[in-house]
């Protein structure tokens, strides 16, 4: 049941804490409840960053070029599961998964094909990649170098949020502490070589999609972020400098008012945590910059046109909440990857909100409403309680090792499922107002039947034509750096330039760090 239906039926001054409401707070000023810019979308329209990736690199490049021609202002890459898990397409565990839920990237050749015809100095690229983030970013830098673009000119984000993989998503490879070392290696490398790159996008999206509540999404995401800032500081980075390259990623669910309030509460809470607990003073480091995505878990396979309404409402909530970047899901994503037509309509949803509704003309237009302010207060207060509980366990890394956030999310997901099955929560077209016959959308996206074999052939060609000795020596250097604690970015960049594959580099790291398997926590 939506939070707004379980709260008071009427809000008034007594429901709002006068110490937090910020009656005199202006947008662009601490603690940024009302937005990180004084003029928000009047001067800084949100980035329309549509997520895409499927099949081969060349097929995905075609989708990227199409989206850019339709008005997308930032790219977002979805990688297939083998790439995320550090397996090449020819690994036995990759069979049946190559190119299915994202693009298959095995080697530098694939990454170059992915951005063929796309000038990297002119676009901002987000890569949803975590366990193998350092490898994929090294490939991106190598492709830019081949285009004549220096790393200092590159703009974009690697998700690089490995902690949430243990909490909610599962595409981890190495034990948590080794993974955190890879995180700091990427962060310190970017600090010196990619100064315009966001080194981590701390993701609440996957936590929410796993069944967490809005409060839990807020709390666990910010607790993860605290861990990253502390790790970066321990590695020698100034929290002000690191904080300026840190971004966030939240889901947008159906409870319209709660979602607006969530973004406002997140900004206020993070600004105070960064200042009071981590000692940051730079205004930009105190700002929570957030990419939002409409919630895949809310989409229904029956009556899929209903998803158009859900996505539109969720996108409007993100805009009213002050997101800096937004992806809208396609109406058919509960059935398959979105078709080109569905992806276009999802983009048009954003364009209509920006250009036709007037929602972007006023800064924090929902601010001051008693309900919004009361929910903002409540979300901040409840999330802080949960953050302090994680801190009591010794921080998020220790809490993860004890299974604390995992159990909390599992309980929330179970309760949500019970509410759906009992009818206490309504999903239109699914457990209420469901047609007896619903054919869905027959024209869904399907990969070409030979897509996997074609990728295997490309990979075989890379391995047959590269300099095998140079590749072997480069992989040996990766292993040595992993063992002696040297920053892995340089050796990995050398390895990808020698056309070593994602799977080969990951195998070397597995040999040093070992693997983590779910259920291994105490």
Q: What is the pLDDT of residue 333?
A: 93
* Tokens, residue 471: 């590749």
Partners of 48 in beta bridges: 326
**pLDDT tens, residue by residue, 175-185:** 999 999 999 99
Could you give the residue ranges of the DSSP H alpha helices within 119-175? 133-146, 163-164
pLDDT value at position 184? 97
At 520 the pLDDT is 57
Q: Of the candidates 229, 107, 212, which has an alpha carbon nearest to the alpha carbon of residue 169?
A: 212
Residue 263 in any domain: the answer is yes
Whether pLDDT at 23 is above 80: no
Return the percentage of the chain with pLDDT > 70, whole number: 97
67 lies in a domain? no
Q: Is 489 in contact with 138 (CB distance < 8 Å)?
A: yes
Domain assignment present for 78: no
Start-to-end C-alpha separation, the chain: 33
Beta bridge partners of 439: none
Report the number of distinct structural domains present in the chain.
1
Entry pTM: 0.94
Q: Does 281 sit behind a cis peptide bond, omega within 30 degrees of 0 on the bond before it?
A: no
User: 5 pLDDT band (50/70/90 cuts)?
Assistant: confident
- Confidence at residue 522, expressed as pLDDT on a 0 to 100 scale: 42
Domain membership flag for residue 84: no
Q: Is residue 169 part of a domain?
A: yes
Residue 296, both tokens: 């895949």
pLDDT of residue 138 exceeding 60: yes
Which tens digits make up the pLDDT trace of 394-431?
999 999 999 999 999 999 999 999 999 999 999 999 99
Cβ neighbourhood burial of 464 (10 Å; 0-12, 13-18, 19+):
exposed
Summarize the chain as % helix, strand, coil (round to 5): 50, 10, 40
Q: What confidence score (pLDDT) does residue 257 get?
A: 97
Average pLDDT over residues 473-481: 98
In a domain, 207, yes or no: yes
Mean pLDDT of 323-344: 94
Give per-residue pLDDT as tens, 139-190: 999 999 999 999 999 999 999 999 999 999 999 999 999 999 999 999 999 9
User: Using one digit for the tens of pLDDT, what is the confidence trace for 284-311?
Assistant: 999 999 999 999 999 999 999 999 999 9
Quick check: 368 pLDDT over 60? yes
Domain that holds residue 397: 3-52+152-422
Strand partners, 125: 75, 156
Residue 144 lies in a domain: no
Structure confidence at residue 438 (pLDDT): 61
CA-to-CA distance for 151 and 200, rounded, in angstroms? 17
pLDDT of residue 194: 97
Residues 489 and 134 sit within 8 Å (Cβ to Cβ):
yes
Tens of pLDDT, residues 51-91? 888 889 999 999 999 999 999 888 999 999 999 999 999 99
Contacts of 259 (CB under 8 A, 6+ apart): 214, 252, 253, 314, 317, 318, 321
Residue 179 maps to a domain: yes
Instruction: Indicate if the pLDDT at residue 2 is higher than 80.
Output: no
CATH code of the domain containing 318 = 3.20.20.240
Judging by DSSP bridges, how do beta strands 74-78 and 124-128 pair with one another? parallel
**Model confidence at 437, in pLDDT bands (50, 70, 90)?**
low
């Amino acid at each position: 049941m939506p939070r707004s239906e379980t709260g008071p039926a009427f809000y008034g001054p007594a429901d709002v804490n006068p110490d937090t409401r910020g009656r005199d707070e202006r947008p662009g000023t601490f603690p940024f409840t009302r937005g990180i810019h004084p003029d928000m979308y009047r001067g800084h329209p949100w980035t329309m960053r549509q997520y895409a990736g499927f099949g081969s690199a060349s097929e995905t490049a075609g989708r990227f070029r199409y989206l850019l021609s339709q008005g997308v202002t930032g790219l977002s890459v979805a990688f297939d599961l083998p790439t995320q898990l550090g397996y090449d397409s020819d690994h036995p565990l990759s069979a049946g998964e190559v190119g299915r839920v994202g693009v298959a990237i095995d080697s530098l050749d694939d990454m170059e094909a992915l951005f063929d015809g796309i000038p990297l100095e002119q676009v901002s690229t987000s890569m949803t990649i975590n366990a193998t983030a350092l490898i994929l970013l090294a490939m991106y830098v190598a492709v830019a170098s081949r285009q004549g673009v220096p790393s200092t000119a590159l703009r974009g984000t690697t998700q690089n949020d490995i902690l949430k993989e243990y909490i909610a998503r599962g595409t981890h490879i190495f034990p948590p502490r080794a993974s955190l070392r890879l995180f700091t290696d990427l962060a310190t490398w970017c600090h010196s070589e990619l100064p315009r790159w966001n080194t981590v996008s701390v993701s609440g999206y996957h936590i929410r999609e796993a069944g967490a509540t809005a409060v839990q999404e807020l709390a666990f995401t910010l607790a993860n972020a605290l861990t990253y800032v502390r790790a970066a500081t321990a590695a020698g980075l100034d929290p002000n400098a690191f904080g300026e390259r840190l971004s966030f990623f939240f889901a947008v669910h159906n409870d319209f008012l709660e979602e607006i309030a969530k973004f406002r509460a997140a900004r206020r809470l993070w600004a105070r945590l960064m200042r009071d607990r981590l000692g940051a003073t730079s205004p930009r480091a105190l700002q929570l910059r957030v990419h939002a995505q409409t919630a895949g878990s809310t989409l229904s396979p029956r009556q899929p046109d209903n998803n158009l309404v859900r996505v539109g409402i969720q996108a409007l909530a993100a805009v009213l909440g002050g997101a800096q970047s937004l992806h809208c899901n396609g109406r058919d994503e509960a059935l398959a990857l979105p078709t080109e037509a569905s992806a276009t309509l999802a983009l048009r949803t954003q364009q209509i909100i920006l250009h036709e509704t007037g929602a972007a003309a006023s800064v924090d237009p929902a601010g001051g409403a008693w309900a919004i302010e009361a929910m903002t207060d409540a979300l901040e207060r409840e999330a802080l309680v949960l953050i302090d509980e994680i801190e009591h366990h010794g921080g998020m890394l220790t809490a993860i090792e004890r299974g604390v956030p995992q159990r909390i999310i599992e309980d929330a997901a179970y309760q949500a499922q019970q509410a759906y099955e009992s009818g206490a929560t309504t999903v239109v077209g699914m457990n209420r107002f469901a047609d007896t016959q619903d054919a869905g959308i027959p024209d869904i996206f399907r990969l070409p039947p030979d897509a996997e074999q074609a990728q295997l052939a490309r990979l075989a060609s890379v391995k047959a034509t590269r300099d095998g000795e140079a590749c072997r020596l480069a992989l040996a250097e990766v292993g040595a750096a992993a063992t002696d604690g040297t920053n892995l970015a340089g050796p990995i960049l050398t390895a990808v330039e020698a056309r070593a594959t994602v799977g080969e580099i990951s195998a070397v790291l597995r040999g040093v760090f070992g693997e983590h398997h779910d259920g291994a926590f105490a």
